[in-house]
A and B are shown apart, each in its own frame.
Chain A
Amino acid sequence: MIAHIFEDLCDGCNSCVVTCPTHVLDISNGAPVIARLDQCQTCYMCELYCASDAIYVAPEQDRAGIIDPETIRASGHLGRIRHDHGWDRPNEDGHLDQYRLLGPLLQKGGETAARRYKDLTS
């Protein structure tokens, strides 16, 4: 669940309020406020759409937990999802060049499991 919005990083654009599909956030005077945490589905979309990398979503789906903002700030997690999507480098090509491997890798995993099951049960 969304755990923290870094007020010093937030530029107040409110794109997280608008892009959150489940209406977790409300606009306020400064950084948005987490108004309906129980509706957070831990989809990380707010992080992806935050151009200031000011949001941290904690990994557990049922709780935000207690986090230490300064530990998170130093962890390298902030902005990682947006970076790995390539959204911080919109003019660079090739972000999806590995994508075609998804299907074959899924299939390979399935075949491994099927072969193993056959060996175990024969």
Chain B
Amino acid sequence: MAAAWAAIAAAKAGAATVLVDKGFVGTSGVTATGGPNHWWVPPDPALRREAVENKHAASFGLGDPAWMERVIDTTWRTLPDLAPYYPFGSDGKGGKYYSGVRGSEYMRALRAYATAAGVRILDHHPATQLLVDEEGAVAGASGHARLRGEDWEIRAGAVIMATGGCAFRSGLIGSYGNTGDGYLLAAEAGAELSGMEFSIQYTVSPAWASTRTLPYGAARYYDEDGMEIIQPPRGHAHYQALGAALLKGPVYADLIDAPAELPPILKDIQPFTPPPFVRKGIDLFRERWPIKLFGEGTIRGNGGLRIIDEDCGTTVPGLYAAGDATTRELATGAISGGGAVNSAWALTSGQISGAAAARRALASRTRTAGRVRTTGVVGIQPSSEDRPIDQKTIEADVDYHMNGYQRSLWRSKGQLNDTLASLDDHWRNLSAHGQAEGLALVGLRETAAMTATARWCTAAALARDESRGIHVRVDAPGLEADGAVRLLCGGLDRVWTRPEIHQYAEAAK
């Protein structure tokens, strides 16, 4: 979604713009199967000020009010531009309802809008590495066109990374392709990350299939013996209560308390939600059915590429970032941006990065003809002899460490150290022996990107020796007095963390 908004802005600014998608622009990513609301505040100064103050107060000291204002304003001004392509529904008062959009129509509309703006869309073109020029500035990317079975390379005066967050293939609907590829590509070119410790979020779904969550808000939960599980309705304690029960055995949901007006219109609001029940012959509003918590990683968590300026620039010249691929701390601090803030951030950071990347590319047009080098290492240039890599085993272990309830919901120093040691072993194996080409390289790089992302999340969770927002450490339950500082991380063979000494606003001065 952020990628489309970025491409639209770049094309409208006059740049020749190519949008490469690992899958298909329209169905890829977690927006297509969801229904994002957008942070939506009318341009009344008092309302805007109140919204920013409330959001900043809830950000545990890590949000940035100036960015919040930009996000609200850009979203308000831009989302209605989709009207020629998206059939905005009624607001029930004679007008149009803009702030919430259904994912499949939203992404279809963004594709149409991008095409109309002159963007060249290349579907099924996963990127495997970035190209940099002699000064280290990003000068393009290369990858594999999987429907054609050919490698591709594109030179560009600027690149925007909009690859989404990473849920470590938890099964979360829409997230199969969200394997952290953009973090890896950017890190190999020298980019830094921020907020990777904010990577614990789950959603409840039926145990056999992840769906979006509309019906489940009022659910009651029961254990195998039919005893109700008393749980706070939200937050870490909610996940812990359900996670603890799920570690013991099956947990069942009962939607008897769901709003009475919901059942008849659920299929009109989100037609993807009923089929997993209907096709199993289950009446989701009358029967009890087993649940599972699906990990969201940095999708509804906040971590991602560090943004260092007002253009959504990263620490690498020529490389910009947008959406869930970036840290969302600027807009939401240490708490989850849920759907609405993250969507508004994706739109806004897309628009800003797209315009900025276009400016850079148009100004440096002659430079793209120069010599470039590739930056990809893991899976491409192994440090030792080429050996087969058991990707399935690595991916299963990464999933266990990052999405397993015992690990994620009860983070402690001992467990995190143990997790990091396992992940480091996998990384050493991949780095020393992984080598592939073509379509096989795409898959190997996905495994490597998930492993790298998991290491950054774990290292950051270890370094943040406190509990702040959605990062909860059972061995360090309170806030530290000096903890209201963003935590950066990065590195490949050696992962590092360090506090961001100057907050963004100060650094920009």
Contacts A23-B124, A49-B27 given; does A61 touch B89 at CB 8 Å: no
Q: Does A29 contact B (CB under 8 A)?
A: no
A59-B275, A106-B217, A112-B217 known; A22-B176 Cβ under 8 A: yes
Contact A18:B123 (CB < 8 A) given known A60-B209, A99-B89, A109-B216: yes
A66 on interface, CB distance cutoff 8 Å: no
The answer to whether A41 and B27 touch across the interface, beta carbons within 8 angstroms, is no
Complex contact A85–B104 (CB within 8 A): yes
Per a CB cutoff under 8 Å, which of B100, B213, B258, B271 touches A100? B100
In whole angstroms, what is the CA distance A41 to B172 when docked? 8
A85 to B269, CA, bound (A): 9
Minimum CB distance partner of B30 in chain A: A43
Is chain B's binding surface mostly helix, strand, loop or mixed? loop
Report the Cα distance A84→B152, complex, angstroms: 38
In the complex, chain B residues 210-264 whose Cβ is within 8 Å of any chain A Cβ: 210, 213-220, 230-234, 257-259, 261-262
B278 is an interface residue with CB less than 8 A from chain A? yes
Q: Which of B22, B123, B233, B268 contacts A117 (CB 8 A)?
A: B233
How near does chain B come to A38, taking the closest CB pair, in angstroms?
9
Q: Would you call B87 and A95 a contact (CB within 8 A)? A: yes
CB distance from B232 to the nearest CB of A (A): 6
One of B31-39, B154-162, B470-478 at the interface: B31-39
Interface string of B199-216 (1 = CB under 8 A from A): 000000000111001111
* Number of B interface residues in the complex (CB < 8 A): 67
- Give the distance in Å from the alpha carbon of A103 to the alpha carbon of B36 in the complex: 10
Q: Is the CB of B35 within 8 A of A102?
A: yes
Identify which of residues 18-47 in chain B touch chain A, using a CB-to-CB cut-off of 8 Å: 22-24, 26-29, 32-33, 35, 37
When distances are taken between beta carbons in the complex, the residues of chain A under 8 Å from B268 are 84, 95, 98-99
Residues of chain B lying within 8 A (CB to CB) of residue A19: 24, 26-27
Q: Which of B6-14, B90-98, B356-364 is near enough to bind chain A?
A: B90-98
Q: Is B265 positioned at the interface, with any CB of A under 8 Å from its CB?
A: yes
Inter-chain contacts of B288 with A (CB < 8 A):
none
Docked CA distance A43–B217 (Å): 22
* Residue contact A100 to B97, C-beta cutoff 8 Å: yes
Report A118 CB to chain B, min CB distance, Å: 9
Scan residues 78-114 of chain A and give those whose CB is less than 8 A from a CB of chain B.
80-81, 84-85, 93-103, 105-110, 112-114
Identity of the chain B residue whose Cβ is nearest the Cβ of A90 in the assembled complex: B87
A40 closest partner in B (C-beta): B176
CB proximity of A109 to chain B, nearest CB, Å:
2
Task: Tell me the chain A residues, 50-82 only, with Cβ under 8 Å from chain B.
Answer: 57-62, 77, 80-81
| B261/A100 in contact, CB under 8 A | no
Q: Which chain A residues border B271 with CB–CB below 8 Å?
A: 80-81, 84-85
User: B216 CB to closest chain A CB, in angstroms?
Assistant: 7
Which of A44, A114, A120 has the most C-beta atoms of chain B within 10 angstroms of its own C-beta? A44
Contact A21 B29 (CB under 8 A): yes
| A102 nearest CB neighbor, chain B only | B269
Query: Can you report 29 residue pairs joining A to B where beta carbons are below 8 Å apart?
Result: A18-B123, A20-B27, A23-B124, A41-B171, A41-B175, A42-B276, A44-B33, A59-B280, A62-B208, A80-B275, A81-B271, A94-B89, A96-B88, A98-B269, A101-B261, A101-B265, A102-B37, A102-B269, A103-B37, A105-B259, A105-B261, A108-B217, A112-B257, A113-B218, A113-B219, A113-B257, A114-B233, A117-B230, A117-B233
Binding site for B on A (CB under 8 A): 17-23, 39, 41-45, 48-49, 57-62, 77, 80-81, 84-85, 93-103, 105-110, 112-114, 116-117, 120-121
**Would you list the 3 A-B pairs with minimal beta carbon distance, nearest first?**
A109-B217, A21-B23, A96-B89
